[in-house]
Copies of this chain bind each other. A is one copy, B any other.
Amino acid sequence: MARSNRTQNRSFVRTVLTTPAAEQRDGNSAKKLDTAVGLRGMQAPDVWVPDNEDGTAPALRAEGLQNLVDVIAADGADFPGEIHPRIPWHRDAPETRDSGYHHLRELADPENGAIDHIDGFVIPEVGAIDDWNKAAELLSLVEAEYELGAGRLSMSVVVESSQAEQAITDLQEELPKPTNTLERLYMLVVGGADYTKDMGAITPTGSLPEWDALQHSVARGASLAGALGIGGAYLATTDIDGYRDRITANQATGLLGIWALTPTQVTEANRETLPPASGHWRIETPESDVALRSADDTQVYEGNYFGLEEQGDSYVFAAGAEGQRLTGAELRAELQKVVSYVPSLADIVDSIEAFEQERDAGRGANTVTRSARVRIDDVEVDIELTRMWDEAVYQTRMTPVRLFQDVYQNRPDQHDELAEMYGESVIQRANAIGT
């Protein structure tokens, strides 16, 4: 998408699709780029990263650069998301950084026709904060050389070394300095594979460690820098359930967007990062959260882990191998610990509208109750979930709504699909709150 359409980059990014700039396999090296640039609607990512680094063999980098220029110049104008090419870079190799500078100049040269459609660049393998500044400076030089305007090009980095993780703690001190241009920082991306190499970690199967601490560092750095935290690639591209679980886990750390390797992952993540279209009740077992089936206003548990039997005026409640005899009140208390509700966008909007009314009436802290009839083994129990809402809780519940609002504003090509998911009425109400 032509960046000149907007005055600033987005506040939220759900999906970042990477596509190799060149590959030998089929004789037609630009093919994957052609496919990617043609994506539209829920199939198109918020950010596209045509990649001339790790996805492309070193011998094909010259060809890859030409492909980048050609494809972006030809079709970038109509791409509905942003375009941020990934260029070669390495904290330890000046020749690689020099190649990166060559990429920047080729892609930014107005005569080549691509730069009008490029929003920024992704810099991999950054090191300490000084290394981030080297990349930012080359972007400044390119902006000056081609008179693009200072700050026109955003910079995103892949955090995939202990040095880069450390650099995150320097951001707060470094950002305000007038001698750098780090305010162009846009996305901080988790780079699990290279980080595993840099940390020298080993797992029995060769799978990558989870790197929870790195995830938190990147999310924290994004919050500090006013940038966007993006979760790393999910290599098992056919495991959609696993990808969904990863998205949920990422979002709980503040990494609202995720890297995608395939259009299927993009479509999945574009939807999964947003609130669901319909809410549902669920129950937590030690192994997973199980959705309850809604039938006639009753939420039915259909698994075998929990069991329930009424015996006179008490109950026998089984969880796995263990059972316990409970009064009705005790049973309700037990269920209220494991049953929860996953609200839809409409539910979230309802709650927020209600809180805003209470707050305007001078009540700063409110109790919100949601009730359900739960059925286990044909025994029905009425439960109530109570939550305290204050200003802080309200703000946390606005985050998914703000994400939705940002998507709606920036992706008109998805309006039809969003309307089909949520309905026009919910969309209008969601766009009206929290402003």
Which residue in chain B gives the minimum CB-CB distance to A364? B57
B320 near A305 (CB under 8 angstroms)? yes
Q: State whether B23 touches A363 (Cβ < 8 A).
A: yes
Instruction: Name the one of B304, B322, B398, B403 contacting A322, with C-beta atoms under 8 angstroms.
Output: B304
Rounded to whole Å, the gap between the CB of A422 and the closest CB of chain B is: 17
With contacts A166-B172, A224-B166 taken as known, whether A254 is within 8 angstroms of B201 at the C-beta atoms is yes
Is there a chain B Cβ closer than 8 Å to A200's Cβ? yes
Interface set, chain A 81-139, CB cutoff 8 A to B: 128
Q: Which residues of B contact A251 (CB under 8 A)?
A: 201-203
Closest to A221 in B: B162
> Do A254 and B200 touch (CB < 8 A)?
yes
Interface readout for A50-93 with B: 1 if CB under 8 Å, 0 if not?
00001111111000000000000000000000000000000000
Within 8 A of B (CB), among A334-362: 336-337, 340-343, 348, 359, 361-362
Identical chains in the assembly = 3
The answer to whether A219 has its CB under 8 Å from any CB of chain B is yes
A341 touches B205 (CB 8 A): yes
A378 within 8 A of partner (CB): no
Q: Interface readout for A395-414 with B: 1 if CB under 8 Å, 0 if not?
A: 11111100100000000000
Is A321's beta carbon under 8 Å from chain B? yes
Give the chain B neighbours of A194 by CB distance below 8 A: 392, 395
Q: Residues of A within 8 Å of B, CB-based: how many?
A: 97
| Contact stretch, chosen from A36-44, A144-152, A236-244 | A236-244
Which residues 196-239 of A have a CB within 8 angstroms of B? 196-209, 212-213, 216, 219-220, 222-224, 229, 235-239
Taking a contact as CB atoms under 8 Å apart, the answer to whether B238 and A223 are in contact is: no
Whether A205 contacts B342 by the Cβ 8 Å rule is: yes
- CB of A391 closer than 8 Å to a CB of B: yes
* Contact across chains for B239 and A223 when beta carbons are under 8 A apart: no
Task: Enumerate chain B residues within 8 angstroms of A59, measured Cβ to Cβ.
Answer: 362
* Chain B proximity of A398: nearest CB distance (Å): 8
CA–CA, A224 and B193, complex, Å? 17
Within 8 Å by CB of A199, from B223, B365, B391, lies B223
The complex places the Cα of A303 from the Cα of B347 at a distance, in Å, of: 41
Give which listed residue, B204, B305, B343, contacts A205 with CB less than 8 A: B343
Identify A365's interface contact among B23, B161, B212, B359, CB under 8 A. B23
Chain B nearest CB, measured from A346 CB (Å)? 14
A25 within 8 A of B: yes
Q: Choose among B56, B363, B388, B403 the residue that contacts A57 (Cβ–Cβ < 8 A).
A: B363
Contacting residue for A390 out of B54, B204, B224, B287, CB 8 A: B54
Q: Which of B20, B239, B399 contacts A201 (CB 8 A)?
A: B399
Q: From residue A226, how far is it (CB to closest CB) to chain B in Å?
A: 10
Closest chain B CB from A333 CB (angstroms): 7
Residue A393 interfacial (CB < 8 Å): yes
A403 neighbours in B (Cβ, 8 Å): 202
Asked whether A256 is an interface residue with its Cβ less than 8 Å from the other chain, the reply is: yes
A394 to B343, CA, bound (A): 43
User: Which residues of chain B come closer than 8 Å to A361, judged between CB atoms?
Assistant: 24
**Interface: A264 (CB within 8 A):** no
Q: Is A267 an interface residue (CB 8 A)?
A: no
Knowing A202-B252, A303-B322, A337-B241, the reply to whether A196 touches B24 (Cβ < 8 A) is: no
Supply 10 further A-B pairs (C-beta < 8 A) apart from A162-B220, A261-B388: A25-B363, A194-B395, A202-B403, A203-B252, A205-B340, A206-B387, A212-B212, A213-B220, A241-B337, A286-B286
26 contacts between A and B (CB under 8 A): A20-B364, A25-B363, A55-B364, A55-B390, A57-B359, A162-B220, A193-B393, A196-B396, A197-B392, A200-B256, A201-B253, A201-B396, A202-B251, A202-B399, A203-B251, A206-B343, A206-B348, A206-B393, A206-B396, A208-B396, A235-B387, A236-B387, A239-B337, A241-B337, A261-B388, A304-B321
Top 3 A-B residue pairs of the complex, sorted by shortest distance between their CB atoms: A57-B364, A199-B254, A193-B392
